[in-house]
Amino acid sequence: MATREAFLAKVRQAQPAARPRPDVPLFPAMGGDLRERFAAALQMMGGTCVQAQAASDVAALIRERFGAAVSIASATAEVPGTRMLTADTEPASLQDIDVGVVRARFGVAETGSVWFSEREYVVNALGYIVQHLVVLLDPAQLVDGLQDVYRRNDFRDARYAALVTGPSATADIEGVLIRGAQGVRSLTVVWLAAKP
């Protein structure tokens, strides 16, 4: 038996017996307006919320915030991009993209987080390699807290999932806050109802 197989066999033999997962208690909802709580939490983490009346308004919003010549990769058909994005797109090819656009499946009011899986991102690198992330979020798709996320079927069914809260940031070097250190420099949530 090769070294790799011998090692894996020992790991399998040392596994504890399977047992059911404990029930996670469902704590009372925090209450209040979910949208207001979400916006306040996101702002505290460095993100921004804006309102759009229609998907066609988002392109103008992007040009206004980031300039007329920005490159855009969009993972949603609602907002056209300047670069085509498909499941076959090489992740590294997004390294020169200014703005990524994606629709979040839902948001979490407690933390101001938006939830994505491989289905929303299309190419997982979209959420991390572009300079700015613009997220479409239907206000009707807000949950109260993180405990609610784990009860959703889309969370359990995803191969890959990420809760994103604001832009990338670090303050571990001399206590100076730096945005975009390991990921996107800005995160803008656009309130936009999803089409049925």
Pairing of strands 106-108, 169-170: unpaired
> Does pTM surpass 0.75?
yes
Rounded to the nearest 5 percent, the helix, strand and coil shares of the chain are 30, 20, 50
**CB-facing half-sphere around the CA of 17: CA atoms within 13 A:** 1
Domain boundaries, position 49: 33-191
Q: Structurally, how many domains does the chain consist of?
A: 1
Residue 7 lies in a domain: no
Residue 63 lies in a domain: yes
Q: pLDDT tens digit string along 13-63?
A: 999 888 887 877 788 888 889 999 999 999 999 899 999 999 999 999 999
CATH number at residue 149: 3.40.50.10420
Residue 121 lies in a domain: yes
Residue 1 lies in a domain: no
Q: pLDDT tens digit string along 106-123?
A: 999 999 999 999 899 999
